[in-house]
Amino acid sequence: MSIVAHSYSLETFFDDCRASLLADAGPDGQSAVRRHLLQLLRHPKLIHAFLGPAPGRRTLHHEPSTGMHVFVHVYDAAGVSKPHDHGPCWIVYGNLTGHTDMIDYQRRDDGSQPGYADLAATREYRVKAGEAELFGVGAIHETAHPAEPSILIRVVSDDMDSVWRHTFNPAKKTVTDRPPRPEKD
């Protein structure tokens, strides 16, 4: 463990993300946020800050100048999401402990037929503790976390609770509008 990793803090992470996104809110800035999160995930004391009373989602930070939100999710039971997008948002998922199994999808139709979506799974992989993945605007994926306790940190470009999103059923080739509401994935 390097001295830099030991000294990295949540506050420094928020500052670094803000600076990167103000410099470039596009894919380069988003990739920088992922790199900052990777550095944060190496912070050994961070785990203790999240060993709280109950599992669930907590907002760690909201950055008014960029819209960025940072959440921590503490899981103590297995869970799986349906394939979904994140509306107009990009998002970075990083595991502090445990792991998240991901499946990425690509849409094969042109989106012109209401309610219809033809998805192809393009990548299946595991995000392990200390790893993070960026999902750009329009990315479609599903997630699953195991029964073992796990802690996930999510960085979202904006307030995803207030935007319309989509949920997909690849077997039935359907897409459903998902209205704004508190989201869990």
Cα distances (angstroms) measured from residue 185 to each of 8, 140, 165: 26, 12, 12
Question: CB 53 → Fe ion: shortest distance, Å?
Answer: 26
Site residues (CB under 5 A) for Fe ion, limited to 59-118: none
Taking the complex as a whole, the smallest distance from the CB of residue 141 to Fe ion amounts, in Å, to: 6
Dist. CA 77–CA 58, nearest whole Å: 17
Distance CA 154, CA 135 (A): 11
∠ CA 141-84-100, nearest 5°, is 45
95: Cβ–Cβ under 8 A, 6 or more apart, which residues? 41, 127, 128, 129, 130, 131, 132, 150, 151, 152, 153
Q: The tokens of 183 are what? A: 């989201």
Question: In terms of CB distance, is 8 or 90 closer to Fe ion?
Answer: 90
Minimal distance in Å, beta carbon 185 to Fe ion? 5
String marking each residue 146-185 x if it binds Fe ion according to CB under 5 A: ---------------------------------------x
Q: Of the two residues 136 and 149, which places its CB atom closer to Fe ion in the complex?
A: 136
Count residues contacting Fe ion (CB under 5 A)? 1
Q: Tell me the residue number closest to Fe ion, measured at CB.
A: 185
Min dist. Cβ of residue 126 to Fe ion (A): 15
Site of interaction with Fe ion (CB under 5 A): 185
